[in-house]
A and B are shown apart, each in its own frame.
Chain A
């Protein structure tokens, strides 16, 4: 099991993976599976699809091929999605009408957003961000794509910064980086952006934590926008070439063997195909985790596929699975010491356990970012994230019933 070291002090310290993990190209699968939250599609079963053709309001095909199946699918986090399966043709046939943008300076936000949407990048940019951050840190200890992208493609930083400027209109552009990559970052972006060096320790790479650190010291977190460098570089490459985004970088790792690879995988590549290609055996009663070991979700099936949000695929074998237990709280306070938002997690979770959700709100449960450090540190191994999610869901349902914000 991935545990803290024997001498580990009071507050947890989980290092991010700062190793050099070269990005390898995964082979293009013969079939892909795409997901959309919309149920009104622009194609149906049997249709021939070109690369870059729009399939749904939030979905552009990353491959050329034929639609073999359209069905409803329950995603790993319980949301109902529409799944579109395609057989991939040998050669890419790119949709006409897409043209490269040589530079971004002075362009309108709406023009860029529309061009990005046509290229398969759907991004919600707030219109009034005061800070825009290029995140060179990874969000999770099981991910190494942002740091590796920065390491390999730092020359794209100037373009990325000017794209972010044009997209957000933010007065302050920040590049967050690790001590290891600080010099490299400074060399390429030092002139255009403010460089902020962060300790490569979880949860420093989480957008909420970065914004809080950049916010004014009196309290309110910065009103800002954070985008992972891997995602931003993919947008820059797509805009400059006029080719739709076809691939997603992700970290594939097996916790028990220490295997860790960065892959350039085709969007829609089925996870079982990726596992097979790398000879990974799931074994029985293990976990298949997407989204990282701290905030990620363990999938119920290998039937899932790579999406534009899949930053990592992590295999945890049965022996490594951390068990949470229905113990009473010991009151040791390690959860509160671990909380990056300074919440009284011990009280919030006990209130949640006994259904006193209003009290959870009084203790600012809304500020909780579900980073998982409380449950990671809990001496009694209580399922704290489950209790926090329960209270959040109950409060949201209550607000929705009252006609307030969902």
Chain B
């Protein structure tokens, strides 16, 4: 019998089928409903911002990798996902140069200087976002930036109202509007419904663990419940905090970022609870109406520490 040519290796001889591409494109797919909602709300302006952010991130990644003399890996989908996420957390009115600066900062400072995909200590998208938020306050302020859009709700930007006037001014806000996404905010940040569907898809598909998002939402609910029970007239209800602003996109899409969030189960739980609680604290006491993204960035610093807080494994015999 002729000896056939055989492949020689150790196990395992099966693989679950996941790949970097399938993970990145899977997450991008999960963002599509929210992106569609944003385009429905803000029309062509939203599509312009998203498309520009995606293109800028991909081009920046290719440029920076060429500059750093590293293999160019833009086809793995991670730059596309970064661009998509950045586009979705910006206002539809963002000028083109702001999107370009944000994308470049996200790729260069957020990701590539640390060694690229998987090595960033901070969520790269939020690094780009934070640079814009701090630099161009007016363009990033939803109250000011989105004044020309007609949002079909009693209060356009409820978090801004809460921040300025307290919870008693929120009486006209419909929880249903917040759930569907009828409020001012980033293009794809506001619709709890569509983001939730995307998040559920990622959890079922095994792209993210349920622990980070669920604990993040629990952290928001618990911390806001503490305030609310202390003074219901000044502080908003947990339901309002969960539905309004960036909490849901943060919980499902930004907090579970692979590189910048903890790996261990216990770390994920602590990271989620801490991030959620911090988000409510920042909403209550910081200089910004919505501190969700800053809360995630701050928790990123802690993630190695949260991972270290794990029990020693049981030893094999």
Contact = CB atoms under 8 A, between A and B. Distances in A.
B5 A285 contact: yes
A266 B191 CA distance: 66
B136 interface: no
Given A302-B1, A328-B119, A385 B258 contact: no
A211 B11 contact: no
A272 interface: yes
A10 B315 contact: no
A27 interface: no
B138 interface: no
A282 B14 CA distance: 17
A221 B315 contact: yes
Contact of A375 (B15, B204, B310, B316): B15
Contact of B316 (A208, A301, A316, A386): A208
A3 B20 CA distance: 15
Nearest to A388: B10
A106 B16 CA distance: 49
Interface string A173-216: 00000000000000000000000000000000000100110010
A224 B317 contact: yes
Contacts of A341: 313-314, 316
A4 B20 CA distance: 15
Given A221-B315, A331-B118, A342-B313, A286 B6 contact: yes
A244 interface: no
A367 interface: yes
Interface string A362-406: 001011111011011111110001100100000000000000000
A298 interface: yes
Given A10-B208, A379-B19, A296 B118 contact: no
A380 B20 contact: yes
Given A219-B314, A367-B315, A316 B258 contact: no
Chain B interface residue bracket vs A: 35 or more
Given A328-B119, A331-B118, A322 B314 contact: no
Interface in A10-56: 10, 12, 14
A316 B7 CA distance: 10
A151 to B, nearest CB: 25
A343 B263 CA distance: 11
B6 A301 contact: yes
A4 B10 contact: no
Interface stretch (A82-90, A161-169, A332-340): A332-340
B7 A285 contact: yes
Contact of B20 (A321, A330, A366): A330
B14 A386 contact: no
Contact of A220 (B23, B262, B315): B315
Given A221-B317, A288-B6, A336-B264, A2 B312 contact: no
Contact of B317 (A208, A378, A381): A208
Contact of B263 (A221, A321, A346): A346
Contact of A342 (B7, B16, B314): B314
Given A298-B8, A321-B7, A377-B18, A366 B205 contact: no
B117 interface: yes
Interface string B109-123: 000000111110000
Given A328-B118, A332-B258, A369-B316, A284 B205 contact: no
A293 B12 contact: yes
User: What does DSSP make chain B's interface, helix, strand, loop or mixed?
Assistant: loop
Interface string B172-214: 0000000000000000000000000000000111101110000
B5 A284 contact: yes
Chain A interface residue bracket vs B: 35 or more
A59 to B, nearest CB: 26
Contact of A379 (B7, B14, B18, B119): B18
A223 interface: yes
Contacts of A346: 263
A257 interface: no
B6 A296 contact: no
Interface in B12-54: 12-20, 23
A292 interface: yes
Given A332-B258, A333-B258, A342-B314, A286 B4 contact: yes
Nearest to B262: A333
A294 B118 contact: no
B279 to A, nearest CB: 22
Counting chain A CB atoms within 10 Å of each CB, the highest count among B5, B8, B15, B116 belongs to B15
Please name the 8 residue pairs, one residue from A and one from B, whose CB atoms are nearest each other, closest first.
A3-B17, A372-B12, A333-B263, A322-B15, A4-B16, A330-B118, A342-B313, A332-B258
Interface of B: 1, 3-20, 23, 115-119, 203-206, 208-210, 258-259, 262-265, 307, 310, 312-317
29 contacts: A9-B204, A10-B208, A211-B316, A220-B314, A220-B315, A222-B317, A224-B317, A272-B1, A286-B4, A286-B6, A286-B7, A294-B12, A295-B12, A298-B7, A301-B6, A302-B6, A314-B13, A322-B14, A324-B15, A327-B20, A364-B315, A366-B315, A370-B11, A376-B14, A376-B15, A378-B18, A379-B18, A385-B12, A386-B10
Given A4-B206, A10-B210, 11 more contacts: A219-B315, A221-B316, A287-B9, A297-B9, A298-B10, A301-B6, A302-B1, A330-B118, A331-B119, A372-B12, A380-B118
